Structure 1
Amino acid sequence: MHHPGPPRFLHVGESIELAPRNPDTVAEYAWQIVDQPAESMVTIDDEAVVHLVPDVPGIYRVELDAPDGVHSQTVRVFPDPRREARFSVTTDEVDSDLDGVDHAAVIGQFNDFTMGTHRAERTGEGDRSGENARAGGYVGNEWFLDVTLPPGTHEAIFAFDDEFEPHATSEVTVDGPGRPRVRLDGRREDDEIVVTATADAAPNGSVPSVEFHLDDRDTLTRDAVTVDDETLRASVDTLSELSRVHAVAVAERHSIADTLTIHSEPAGERTRTISFDRPADPPAWVRDATIYEIFVRAFAGDTVDTTFAAIERRVPYLESLGVDAVWLTPVCESPTRHGYHITDLFDTAADLGTREEFASLVDRLHEADIRMLFDLVINHTSRDHPAFQLQRAGVPEYADHYERVPATQDTTGVDWAGDDAPGHYFTWSKIPNLNYDSLAVREWMLDVIDEWAPLVDGFRCDVAWGIPHGFWKEVRERLKSRDEEFLLLDETVPRDAAFRENEFDVHYDTDLYAVLRNIGTGDAPASSLFDALDDSRRHGYPNEALHMRYVENHDEDRYATECNDGSLRPAAAATFTLPGVPMVYYGQERGVPTDRGTMRWHDGDAALTEFHRRLIALRNEYPALCASGVEPVACDVHTGDPERVVAYERGTEYERLIVVLNFGPDPVIVTLDRAVEHTDLFDESALTGDGIRIDDIAVLIPSGQE
């Protein structure tokens, strides 16, 4: 079916792509706007994939004429929450001489980290000219860029002379509320179904109202339902086999949508069985899982090559750690050690082994009750991929496979063939972006997904933020219809709650990552981790959302190398004792000092390894550590620096635990504002004296708990 999918929700000035699902590259498709607000002047093209940029709030209805019929889709548009803001840096903030530098590329989440679209020019004091300056310029010793941004804190990088050396970073905060949240639940009352929306106001926001929207793919229509504030009702007789209800909370800003699926099945001559499902929620198995990331070609050791067979022989180590899922960095054919420059998306890299050997590794992991996460790289390919080479060489069939940008926007210094250049992010000129406006690319990438999904248990999706939301929504429904347990993990940096809206199960938590780094370097107090957790709510993530908590990965410096001595242990402990899905990056537990360094098997830090084993075991043993919610606990620090210590309580209805972390270099003695039992569960030691000694972490049971 080519229907483009569920209703879409966005604000004025935002762009969404509209595309047929399961595309046929030889078929004809045509879009038109059939209804829009009276004040709107927006039009769309007649291509198979179109972009709608609404100009006024309201409801837009579009139609797709496809080989299997005409399909309608609703687009609900809210007022633009963005405000004028200015990123700026001074020459004093740059650790380099800027003499002779006449411009800087400015990149950030606001422009998808695309070099060349926004520049701050150095053309003279007070002069803000320049075709690509986009309201940027240079005044005195200040470089600046004026942009519109939503409420929140934003960061931009000024890359002088379009290079990252030298560069400077600017941060700006736009006042205003975060995003509200909404949750849908359903029940049956006699011959009716009742859908209830629970709306939650954003931090610093007003109480939201709720809008219900039905799915244009279903037979349930607006005439068949009644809505009273936050409740929707419909007769059971009006339901087909599948009905979907969507809702958004609306205040100063709108929430991401929540969805409730209603299944209606015959259960006799005049009765029907009704069931409800929340399709955006993650699979149950991941809620208490630990992920272990392996940078593939560094794992086997310093005297042998890493292959699938070599990893398979080391599965007993993964079993001994107690991890639940292994994420391998890319295993497809690539000329690079890291594997993200892929030249064949359908086959494994020759140096790692055959497809059959990869399958054997997956089977061995499954025998150990460990799931496999495949690193799905479909935002780009290597520029040595045949498809890209054929495009640049003018082969017509490949003309639309990669993004094309004007040569005037190019910052690479490469003398590209033709009068344009490939689109890419940052300075990643060797990995050009695929063009998702192309039906051929969409079909190609869906084939890639279908190739690997039956073999593995989930995808970690590289540069997820670079691929259209509509495509991810299609991918989710495609995969979940086959296997509800299949996991989708996004790399969205910085975080963006929009990828939770029927797209991904688990999300990178860049906020906690950054705060743990600042705590480790002494630039923030230990209590600031609560601020990072609050950021999830401000972004608009619902309570049900799961976040991957980590202290390092293959793109970052090692925590222990960058931060103060001894702070790795409490930082790692935070990822295991706060809500979310902890991830251990290979070698983190062995003391590997470089981000992609060789695994230290014979000379690793044995005590650090046991520390991580204990963290995993403790989390597996106590459900309280996998629960949602965190309650700060006041504590007095009698020795050491109080700003290096933090305490909090976690738990369920049946079990509560208190966690105390010490980021300082030396043990501390603390007392809490509540009584606890006399055993530290982490090291199973008895508490003595007038206070509690904390080396790195203590896990305590509140007194009086049965």
Structure 2
Amino acid sequence: MLILPAVSCAMALSQPAADTTARPWWHDAVFYEVFVRSFADSTDGPLANDGVGDFRGLTARLDYLNDGDPATTTDLGIDAIWLMPINESPSYHGYDIVDYKSIDAEYGTPEDFRAFIDAAHERGIRIIIDLVLNHCSNRHPWFEEAASDPDSPKRDWFIWADQDPGYRGPWGQQVWHRVSHDQDAPLYYGCFYRGMPDLNLHNPAVTAELKEIARFWIQDMGVDGFRLDAIKHLIEDGATQENTQATIDWLEDFNAYCKSLNPDFFTVGEVWSTTDQVARYIPAAVDTAFEFDLAQTIIDGLNTGDATKIRDRIALVADAYDTPVATFLTNHDQARLMTQLGESESKAKAAASILLTLPGVPFIYYGEEIGHTGGKPDPNIRTPMQWDATGETFSAAEPWRAAQPDAVRRNVREQQGHPGSLLEHYRRLIDLRKSTPALTQARVIPLDPPEDAILAFIRRDDTGRQCLVVVNTSADPIGWYAVPLDQPVPPGPLRDISGNRRPFGSLSDDRATFRGGGIRGHELFVIELPNAG
């Protein structure tokens, strides 16, 4: 969604009027998730070389993500950036906000943010930001007033109880917290922990304030969308603390309000639930939401070398949604992909191959494209971007968190321009996705090859344009191999368009036959098929 922004260059992306019949911009976008603190420290200005990433540093690195020139091949080629929380917060991660209209002083000023938005829009990059609707910080002035004065109007902005209601949270956690150490003190509800009291969205005043915050970021600051955090928890119904109908109803109103300000505005929700629950939110409560089950199934399938569950999950997801769902492999709350895959680069390439050839709106977590590693606790999965082996190109100072030990070999400088690297694999796949309409605008037809290790599906659009995607999910090569198709095709040679090696084989009647070298371990082929009749 484009804004009528208060920033000058943001106008380059805005339109005089939204065409409601046009394909939404986000349907064809590849997103990149950035933790500003860990992406790039500035080299000039008041925050230069302090060991913390900031907006000036991020702006200086935009050409790595997309330089705005379709003719170049040195950028990653993404279309949009999701920024993790950028507001003032007492924590390093920012999900406990104390001022919703602020910019974290460690990241820069509002002017720095506007300059970043301008620079991104000049390159054709859209910007979405994290918006936390479920809770704020217990240091937010709203909560401090509510906790200190039972008669304050802010008291009803939160959820209170005189006695412990006697139930725990969705994963067994304590959710009712005493406002003081006095055992007779009233309790407030905080689903995640005592430092994050939940907002009372039954209160119209809270809803009005959250809409005003949305208006500020859409109209005054020029953002193109929101990633809405933890939305399945917004409104509880007693001990039912996830996915209530009241939550979905509230979000439908909020989403409609955002689109009343800008019809092109985009919302993506974090609904960490099963596919059937996620589908309830789309497309009215949010434009789309993240598909957690699909992400985990892809990782599990690559670790076992068995594609059957991936195939079944792809079919289930295809049936569940009428609009593109947000696909991903990992995010800032999960162990890094490379770590989950046992630091296997070939598995990481196969994971990217699946993600970027499936339907949906793919999201890439920063550093995933270079094999960034890291496991729990959370700060270790949010470490500084590895631009080179020394870490000095992130910051000339000691970084807020040490780089991963393998940064010596897993960094941008080491992989840039090397055709066999993971980084170049991502670049090639993103370019393929952009240049092949069947990979963005077509439905998926899962196939059932006889070998469990082989994942095969057809992408076919309404005009008949189609391609065959084949991925070997195991490390073992498969020799002579025939992939059964869903309908006959004219005979001819196999033509791969993924940039991989030339396959030996042919199309014949209802199958694609790989001969000679067959299909190597974790290898991808995207075979161009004649138009379907």
Give the Cα–Cα distance (whole angstroms) in 2 for the partners of residues 368 and 704 of structure 1: 34
Q: Which of structures 1 and 2 has the bigger CA Rg? A: 1
C-alpha distance after superposition, 1:375-421 (max 9, x if no partner): 11111001111111111112512110112244253736964336432
SS of equivalent to 2:157: coil
Residues 278-357 of structure 1: pairs in structure 2 closer than 5 A:
284-300=24-40, 304-319=51-66, 320-357=75-112
SS of equivalent to 1:447: helix
Find the counterpart in structure 1 of residue 468 from structure 2.
658
Of 425, 428, 434, the residue aligned with 1:611 is 425
C-alpha distance after superposition, 1:307-331 (max 9, x if no partner): 1110000000011111111000000
Partner amino acid for 1:548?
A
Is 1:648 aligned to residue 405 of structure 2? Answer: no
Is 1:518 aligned to residue 284 of structure 2? Answer: no
Could you tell me how far 1:356 is from its partner in structure 2?
1.2
SS of equivalent to 1:407: coil
Find the counterpart in structure 1 of residue 438 from structure 2.
624
C-alpha distance after superposition, 1:587-625 (max 9, x if no partner): 000121022122111141611111100110000010011
> 1:283, 1:485 within 8 Å by CA — same for their partners in 2?
no
Report which structure shows greater RCO (CA 8 Å, sep ≥6): 2
Give the Cα–Cα distance (whole angstroms) in 2 for the partners of residues 401 and 283 of structure 1: 39
Give the Cα–Cα distance (whole angstroms) in 2 for the partners of residues 568 and 294 of structure 1: 19
Is 1:449 aligned to residue 214 of structure 2? Answer: yes
> 1:322, 1:616 within 8 Å by CA — same for their partners in 2?
yes
Could you tell me how far 1:645 is from its partner in structure 2?
1.9
Of 130, 133, 157, the residue aligned with 1:401 is 157
| Closer/same/farther in 2, CA of residues 687 and 277 from structure 1, 3 Å limit | closer
Find the counterpart in structure 1 of residue 365 from structure 2.
585
Is 1:364 aligned to residue 119 of structure 2? Answer: yes
C-alpha distance after superposition, 1:650-680 (max 9, x if no partner): 1222421111112222443333235663332
Find the counterpart in structure 1 of residue 193 from structure 2.
428
| Closer/same/farther in 2, CA of residues 303 and 448 from structure 1, 3 Å limit | closer
Give the Cα–Cα distance (whole angstroms) in 2 for the partners of residues 378 and 384 of structure 1: 16
Is 1:507 aligned to residue 507 of structure 2? Answer: no
SS of equivalent to 1:685: coil
| Closer/same/farther in 2, CA of residues 442 and 599 from structure 1, 3 Å limit | same
C-alpha distance after superposition, 1:204-241 (max 9, x if no partner): xxxxxxxxxxxxxxxxxxxxxxxxxxxxxxxxxxxxxx
Partner amino acid for 2:493?
E
| Closer/same/farther in 2, CA of residues 658 and 351 from structure 1, 3 Å limit | same
Find the counterpart in structure 2 of residue 702 from structure 1.
529
Give the Cα–Cα distance (whole angstroms) in 1 for the partners of residues 478 and 117 of structure 2: 45
Could you tell me how far 1:504 is from its partner in structure 2?
1.2
Identical counterparts, % of pairs: 28
| Closer/same/farther in 2, CA of residues 423 and 548 from structure 1, 3 Å limit | same
| Closer/same/farther in 2, CA of residues 303 and 347 from structure 1, 3 Å limit | closer
> 1:677, 1:700 within 8 Å by CA — same for their partners in 2?
no
> 1:680, 1:700 within 8 Å by CA — same for their partners in 2?
yes
C-alpha distance after superposition, 1:240-290 (max 9, x if no partner): xxxxxxxxxxxxxxxxxxxxxxxxxxxxxxxxxxxx978xxx952111110
> 2:30, 2:362 within 8 Å by CA — same for their partners in 1?
yes
Could you tell me how far 1:549 is from its partner in structure 2?
0.8
Of 469, 472, 476, the residue aligned with 2:255 is 476
Higher helix share: 2
> 1:645, 1:662 within 8 Å by CA — same for their partners in 2?
yes
Of 476, 479, 482, the residue aligned with 1:671 is 482
Find the counterpart in structure 2 of residue 596 from structure 1.
382
Residues 265-276 of structure 1: pairs in structure 2 closer than 5 A:
none
Is 1:385 aligned to residue 385 of structure 2? Answer: no
| Closer/same/farther in 2, CA of residues 542 and 705 from structure 1, 3 Å limit | closer
Find the counterpart in structure 1 of residue 265 from structure 2.
486
Displacement over 6 Å in runs of 4+: none
Calculate the TM-score normalised by the size of structure 1. Answer: 0.56
> 1:590, 1:599 within 8 Å by CA — same for their partners in 2?
no
Partner amino acid for 2:474?
G
SS of equivalent to 2:331: coil
Give the Cα–Cα distance (whole angstroms) in 1 for the partners of residues 279 and 103 of structure 2: 33
Partner amino acid for 1:399?
R
| Closer/same/farther in 2, CA of residues 415 and 432 from structure 1, 3 Å limit | closer
| Closer/same/farther in 2, CA of residues 345 and 704 from structure 1, 3 Å limit | closer
> 2:132, 2:229 within 8 Å by CA — same for their partners in 1?
yes
Residues 89-104 of structure 1: pairs in structure 2 closer than 5 A:
none
C-alpha distance after superposition, 1:154-187 (max 9, x if no partner): xxxxxxxxxxxxxxxxxxxxxxxxxxxxxxxxxx
Partner amino acid for 2:264?
E
> 2:90, 2:96 within 8 Å by CA — same for their partners in 1?
yes
Find the counterpart in structure 1 of residue 399 from structure 2.
none
Give the Cα–Cα distance (whole angstroms) in 2 for the partners of residues 673 and 497 of structure 1: 31
Is 1:686 aligned to residue 493 of structure 2? Answer: no
SS of equivalent to 1:333: coil
Give the Cα–Cα distance (whole angstroms) in 2 for the partners of residues 439 and 666 of structure 1: 59
Query: 5+ unaligned residues in a row in structure 1: which ranges?
Result: 1-275, 637-641
Is 1:416 aligned to residue 179 of structure 2? Answer: yes
Calculate the TM-score normalised by the size of structure 2. Answer: 0.73
| Closer/same/farther in 2, CA of residues 436 and 671 from structure 1, 3 Å limit | same
| Closer/same/farther in 2, CA of residues 575 and 485 from structure 1, 3 Å limit | same
Instruction: Give the CA RMSD over aligned residues.
Output: 2.5
> 2:465, 2:531 within 8 Å by CA — same for their partners in 1?
no
Give the Cα–Cα distance (whole angstroms) in 1 for the partners of residues 474 and 213 of structure 2: 48
Higher strand share: 1
Partner amino acid for 1:648?
F
> 2:178, 2:186 within 8 Å by CA — same for their partners in 1?
no
Give the Cα–Cα distance (whole angstroms) in 1 for the partners of residues 444 and 468 of structure 2: 10
> 2:500, 2:524 within 8 Å by CA — same for their partners in 1?
no
Could you tell me how far 1:684 is from its partner in structure 2?
5.0
| Closer/same/farther in 2, CA of residues 696 and 624 from structure 1, 3 Å limit | same
SS of equivalent to 1:648: strand
SS of equivalent to 2:214: helix
Could you tell me how far 1:470 is from its partner in structure 2?
2.8
| Closer/same/farther in 2, CA of residues 659 and 483 from structure 1, 3 Å limit | same
SS of equivalent to 1:348: coil
| Closer/same/farther in 2, CA of residues 500 and 680 from structure 1, 3 Å limit | same
Farther-moved stretch of structure 1 (647-656 vs 293-302): 293-302
SS of equivalent to 1:400: helix
Is 1:375 aligned to residue 125 of structure 2? Answer: no
Could you tell me how far 1:480 is from its partner in structure 2?
1.6
Q: What is the aligned length?
A: 418
Query: 5+ unaligned residues in a row in structure 2: which ranges?
Result: 1-18, 42-48, 67-74, 169-173, 235-246, 375-380, 390-410, 416-420, 486-490, 506-514
Find the counterpart in structure 1 of residue 325 from structure 2.
547
